[in-house]
Amino acid sequence: MKEAMRMHPGVAFPLERVVPTGGVQLCDKHIPAGTIVGINATVIHRNTDIFGEDADTFRPERWLIKDEEKIKNMERYLLTVSNPAYEPTPQVLFAVVRNDSFTLKS
C-alpha cells in the first residue's frame, strides 16, 4: 500500500505548511516565520536520495528491507496520509456521534 501511495499520491497540489517562529534556514537561504511553503508529494516521492536510484519504479519490496533507519527515513518523507496529530481521535468521533451532530443516509 505504501508503494502504491508513493507512486500515485492522492493529493496533486502542494502540501503547504507555515514556517514557525524564528524562521528556518534552508539551503543557505533564510525563510522568515509565517511564510507559507510547500512541496508536491510526487516531487518528494521521486527523490532518489530518499527512495533510491529506482525511485521512478514501482517496487513494493523497498519497504521490506531490514534497514530500519532507511525505512524510517522513507516514511518521514511519505506524504500520503495526514499526520496522526491532526486526525480526529476516537473520543472526538464518539462525541460527534453521541451529540447527534450528523445523520447517516442509507
Q: What is the pLDDT of residues 51-103, one digit of tens each?
A: 999 999 999 999 999 999 999 999 988 887 655 544 444 444 444 444 444 45
pLDDT digits (tens, 9 = 90+) for 6-51: 998 887 788 788 899 999 887 888 989 999 988 888 888 999 999 9
44 CB contacts (<8 Å, ≥6 apart)? 50, 77, 79
List Cβ neighbours of 55 (8 Å cut-off, separation of 6 or more).
Answer: 45, 46, 47, 48
